[in-house]
């Protein structure tokens, strides 16, 4: 049964459907693995064993009766600690919300449960989701699967660790500036950032409502497709028969290549070569308007985040990690006029982006220009924390600023991901493209 812990969610679902895997035994296998893992308390903020076994028992009965609710009926997954779950603490990684226990599940958790998925529990995260590094001295900093001393990526740090360490078949996270894609890349997983507004945020603790999105972290593009359908209560994209012949991709040069360090650069170069060998055409692309657009992120993200959280933060600022507190407070530096003007300028940049990328199936760039930094140094060196956090989020934030859906795919080089930027509200097309890229990179 230990092999189940390394299988994709899709393969586990197929095993349940074929009668080869019992959902109760599968859930017990995961719960036992969580209990036995020496780093479990750095990964899970809460384990909901009783709920998981009850849901697994119902899934087993449906499987025996041939009445499964979805391809993932009976598959155990984890949830980031900002998704409300009835009767279980949901604190968004912050002591500001200590003891917060919601009365009902978030809409996406309700949807997934209605399709038979099993809730294993809640995973640690960056405080209030406001960091791309995943470092949280207030609660816990989850380990990086390639080196436990390095940053796991954030803010969906525990979601990534739960999957990478074999303690969940899939993790559900959120992405405001890269919080699904960075931990996916740094832990060699597949991560899907959905288009803002596509997946429900009801019952999700907010950071920036205009940028917050919900998405899965898993072992394959197929897992991402199945989980998107589960989160929405819909039908998954059919990924069969895809290949790269005739596909045309843009290799983004503007912003995304700045300060690109050696290992991510080499991994990106090798990944593009594999795609060309598989029949894809790759064209370098400059989008000059992107430079100004990225300069607006400091206004748009921090002003909204501080606007939403100012009263809660200033009532008890001593409860926060200093780096996160400083980042929130920077939002006070901007006026309402600054914020409105920034949005107007961003909309013009988005129009220029849409025109520039229209001829391509997708836009490619490294997920992160850096490798995971050292956690101890991040906690002790302010300048290092600030510079590494901004760099970690830089490339992924392109997708958020331009209002896109996006994938992070493993390149085969540890902690180096390939970002595939799609068009707004075109997740199914992105997943088809991602499946073809995934096969070429494998």
Residues annotated as part of the active site: 80, 155, 179
Burial of 413 (0-12, 13-18, 19+ CB in 10 A): middle
Distance CA 162, CA 178 (A): 18
Residues 6+ apart with CB under 8 A from 418: 267, 268, 271, 364, 366, 367, 408, 409, 410, 411, 437, 441
Distance CA 113, CA 76 (A): 10
CA distances to 21, 59, 67, 76, 86 from 64, in Å: 11, 9, 8, 18, 28
Is residue 175 within 8 Å of 213, Cβ to Cβ?
yes
Distance CA 393, CA 176 (A): 10
- SS3 per residue for the chain: CHHHHHCCHHHHHHHHHCCCCCHHHHHHHHHHHHHHCCCHHHHEEEECHHHHHHHHHHHHHHHHHCCCCCCCCCCEEEEECCECECCECCCCCCHHHCCCCCCCCCHHHHHHHHCCCEEEEEECCCHHHCCCCCCCCCCCCCCECCECCECCCCCCHHHHHHHHCCCCCCEEEECCCCCCHHHHHHCCCEEEECCCCCCCCCCECCCCCCCCCEEEEECCHHHHHHHHHHHHCCCCCCCCCCCCCCCEEEEECCCCCCCCCHHHHHHHHHHHHHHHHCCCEEEEECCCHHHHHHHCHHHHHHHHHHHHHHHHHHHCHHHCCHHHHHHHHHHHHCCHHHHHHHHHHHHHHHHHHHHHHCCCCEEEEECCCCCCCEHHHHHHCHHHHHHHHHHHHHHHHHHHHCCCCEEEEECCCCCCEEEEECCCCCHHHHHHHHHHHHHHHC
């Amino acid at each position: 049964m230990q092999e189940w812990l390394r299988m994709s969610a899709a393969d586990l679902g197929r095993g349940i459907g074929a009668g080869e895997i019992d959902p109760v035994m599968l859930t017990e296998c995961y719960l036992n693995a969580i209990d036995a893992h020496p780093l479990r308390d750095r990964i899970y903020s809460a384990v909901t064993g009783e709920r998981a076994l009850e849901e697994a028992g119902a899934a087993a009965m449906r499987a025996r009766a041939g009445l499964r609710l979805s391809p993932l009926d009976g598959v155990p997954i984890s949830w980031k600690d900002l998704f409300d779950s009835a009767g279980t603490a949901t604190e968004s990684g912050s002591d500001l919300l200590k003891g917060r226990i919601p009365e009902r599940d978030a809409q996406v958790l309700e949807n997934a449960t209605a399709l038979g998925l099993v809730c294993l529990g809640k995973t640690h995260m960056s405080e209030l989701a406001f960091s791309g590094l995943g470092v949280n001295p207030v609660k816990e900093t989850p380990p990086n699967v390639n080196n436990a001393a390095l940053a796991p990526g954030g803010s969906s740090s525990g979601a990534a660790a739960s999957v990478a360490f074999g303690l969940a078949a899939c993790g559900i996270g959120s992405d405001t500036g890269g919080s699904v894609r960075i931990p996916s890349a740094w832990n060699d997983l597949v991560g899907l950032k959905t288009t803002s507004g596509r997946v429900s945020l009801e019952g999700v603790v907010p950071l920036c409502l205009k940028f917050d999105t919900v998405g899965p972290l898993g072992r394959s593009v197929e897992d991402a497709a199945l989980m998107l359908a589960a989160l929405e209560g819909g039908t998954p994209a059919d990924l069969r028969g895809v290949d790269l012949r005739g596909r045309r991709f843009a290799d983004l040069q503007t912003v995304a290549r700045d300060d690109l360090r050696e290992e991510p650069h080499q991994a990106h170069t090798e990944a593009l070569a594999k795609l060309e060998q598989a029949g894809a055409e790759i064209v370098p692309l400059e989008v000059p308007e992107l430079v100004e657009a990225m300069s607006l992120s400091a206004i748009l993200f921090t002003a909204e985040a501080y606007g939403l959280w100012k009263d809660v933060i200033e009532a008890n600022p001593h409860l926060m990690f200093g780096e996160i507190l400083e980042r929130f407070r920077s939002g006070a530096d901007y006026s309402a006029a600054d914020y409105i003007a920034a949005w107007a300028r961003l909309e013009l940049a988005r129009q220029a982006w849409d025109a520039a990328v229209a001829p391509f199936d997708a836009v490619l760039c490294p997920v992160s220009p850096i490798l995971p930094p050292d956690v101890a140094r991040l906690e002790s060196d302010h300048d290092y924390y600030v510079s590494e956090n901004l760099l970690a989020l830089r490339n992924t934030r392109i997708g958020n600023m331009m209002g896109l859906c996006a994938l992070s795919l493993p390149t085969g080089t540890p902690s180096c991901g390939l970002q595939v930027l799609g068009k707004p509200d075109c997740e199914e097309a992105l997943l088809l493209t991602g499946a073809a890229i995934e096969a070429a990179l494998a």
